[in-house]
Amino acid sequence: MAAKRLRDDSDQESDPSQNKRMRSVPSFSTVIREAMMTKSLQNFFFALEPLLRKVVQEEVEQGVIRSIHSFQRSIPTQIEAAESSSLKLAFKQQPSLPIFTGSKIEDIENNPLQIIIVDVADGEVPLSSLPSAVKVEIVVLDGDFPSGDGNEWTSAEFQKKMVRERTGKRPLLTGDVNVTLRDGTAYISDLAFTDNSSWIRSRHFRIGARVVPKGYNGPSIKEAMTEPFMVKDHRGELYRKHYPPALCDEVWRLERIGKDGAFHRKLSAENINTVQDFLKLCAVEPDRLRSILGVGMSDRMWEGTVAHAKTCIIGDKLYLHRGPQCSLVLNPICEVVSIVTGSMTCTLQELSRTQMAFVQHLVQEAYRNWDNLEETDGLLRSSVVLPQNLGMQRQCEMETLLWYSVHQENAIDYQVGGYDIVNSVQPFYD
């Protein structure tokens, strides 16, 4: 019995280790699952390896390319710095604005654009070191170039900012896009845009000029460019204002007066069709002109229109209006230049109110009969100012003659407030 118990005890003691060995042995399903997982990871790594290689290769290539480009950019800069010149191209005058497509581009003095070679340091023309003949190309630049202070750029940057025509369009600039500078100067007599500037981000163009590198062996010459400007479609030119306006311009060319608008119709109804008509009535009867335009034109608008009209260049033509006792010499907008009678003169300050009223009466008469005035050569403009102390007899004679002249016209008393009479008045007697 004891032996049996001993055997049973040994059997019981061996059971835990046996169970442990049994638990440590993996099952068949576990082995299969782990094998499949290992296989999947291997397949994943095999599939990922080409992608990782490609990404690494691209990053390395881009890093190399960036390094090369940086190196290439530094070389031209160093070369240009080494070849920097004391000469540069320049536009003598800026273009006249506004600029419309199809319209000839001129400078602010209405002359062809002029390109010159100047010294970088002082802007003077270096007569002693000018190349004999230089071929120059006229190009279009983006209006936002150059950035920064606007005075420094490289030839590569200049070329990069050149604007070409849109696809399917004609060349952006037509005319004299290639000129030759002789003795350091050249004129661009024919130049026009074929497209407006609204399609680029800055909405502005510049006109640039650069030396044609092919065949040129002289010293380096820096490029030139104008100030930025907008190029508008030519259809807008039909309604644009003129700065300054001309006497023969239609009156709607003035500020605040739109073509076929209310103000234009009011003026046309009073036979005020040109800028000259506007200025004549403004000089003779400004209150009447103001009333014609009516309350629809505010005081601020009125001041702007008159100020624009008065920038008109009236020229040097003179007109003679012959009165019963004296003659008036008038400029093209009916302002008195001088009053002529005999060979003696006096200043306006020596005229009394009655005398000035008589002069104003003659001016209004001249305005009503403008088409019948005689053109004069201006010889009557010369005058000699009398001394401050006129002789009593001469003053009495003048007063007597003026009294007679005024009363001959039924003693009409004209107010002269606001009327501008310039220069001098010659006496009303021989």
pLDDT surpassing 70 at residue 17: no
Structural domain harbouring 198: 87-235
pLDDT in tens, 318-371: 999 887 777 888 999 999 888 777 665 554 556 677 777 888 888 999 999 999
338 within 8 A of 421, measured Cβ to Cβ: no
373 within 8 A of 280, measured Cβ to Cβ: no
Q: Are residues 285 and 175 in the same domain?
A: no
Q: Are residues 93 and 213 in the same domain?
A: yes
pLDDT in tens, 150-195: 678 999 999 999 999 999 999 999 999 999 998 889 999 999 999 9
Q: Are residues 359 and 273 in the same domain?
A: no
Of the two residues 134 and 126, the one the predictor is more confident about is 134
Give mean pLDDT, residues 394-421: 42
Give mean pLDDT, residues 88-102: 92
Residue 276 lies in a domain: yes
Contacts of 129 (CB under 8 A, 6+ apart): 87, 219
pLDDT surpassing 50 at residue 400: no
Q: 405 pLDDT band (50/70/90 cuts)?
A: very low
Q: Assign 339 to helix, strand or coil.
A: strand
Comparing 14-18, 176-180, 392-396, 418-422, which segment has the lowest mean pLDDT?
A: 418-422
Give mean pLDDT, residues 129-145: 88
Q: What's the chain's average pLDDT?
A: 77
Comparing 50-59, 74-83, 301-310, which segment has the lowest mean pLDDT?
A: 74-83
Residue 76 lies in a domain: no
Q: Return the number of other C-beta atoms located less than 10 Å from residue 414's C-beta.
A: 16
Residue 126 lies in a domain: yes
**Final residue of a structural domain among 235, 264, 285:** 235
- The share of the chain scoring above pLDDT 70, in percent, equals 67
**Final residue of a structural domain among 207, 235, 263:** 235
Of the two residues 430 and 113, the one the predictor is more confident about is 113
Q: Are residues 364 and 296 in the same domain?
A: no
Q: Are residues 138 and 215 in the same domain?
A: yes
Residue 275 lies in a domain: yes
pLDDT in tens, 202-244: 999 999 999 998 878 878 899 999 999 999 988 766 777 888 9
Q: Assign 224 to helix, strand or coil.
A: strand
Q: 139 pLDDT band (50/70/90 cuts)?
A: very high
Q: How far apart are CA 414 and CA 292, in angstroms?
A: 21
Q: Are residues 409 and 274 in the same domain?
A: no
Give mean pLDDT, residues 20-29: 58
Q: Are residues 170 and 273 in the same domain?
A: no
Q: Return the number of other C-beta atoms located less than 10 Å from residue 354's C-beta.
A: 14
pLDDT surpassing 60 at residue 118: yes
Q: Are residues 121 and 253 in the same domain?
A: no
Phi, psi of 136 (to 5 degrees): -125, 135
Listed residue (170, 193, 162) closest to 98, CA to CA: 193
Q: Are residues 155 and 277 in the same domain?
A: no
Contacts of 413 (CB under 8 A, 6+ apart): 354, 357
282 within 8 A of 276, measured Cβ to Cβ: no
Q: How distant is the alpha carbon of residue 259 from its chain centre?
A: 23
CATH classification of the domain holding 160: 2.60.40
**Domains in the chain: how many in total?**
3
CA 55 vs CA 49, 80, 408: distances in Å: 10, 38, 107
Residue 49 lies in a domain: no
Q: Are residues 346 and 218 in the same domain?
A: no
Residue 5 lies in a domain: no
Phi, psi of 389 (to 5 degrees): -100, 100
Listed residue (318, 298, 305) closest to 275, CA to CA: 305
Residue 22 lies in a domain: no
Q: Return the number of other C-beta atoms located less than 10 Å from residue 413's C-beta.
A: 11
Q: Are residues 270 and 384 in the same domain?
A: no
Give mean pLDDT, residues 3-12: 48
Residue 420 lies in a domain: yes
- DSSP codes joined into one string, 354-415: HHHHHHHHHHHHHHHTGGGPEEE-SGGG---PPPSS--HHHHHHHHHHHHHHHHHTTT----
Q: Are residues 323 and 402 in the same domain?
A: yes
Q: Mutual orientation of helices 275-284 and 353-368 as an angle, nearest 10°?
A: 160
**Final residue of a structural domain among 235, 263, 285:** 235
Give mean pLDDT, residues 236-254: 87
pLDDT surpassing 70 at residue 21: no
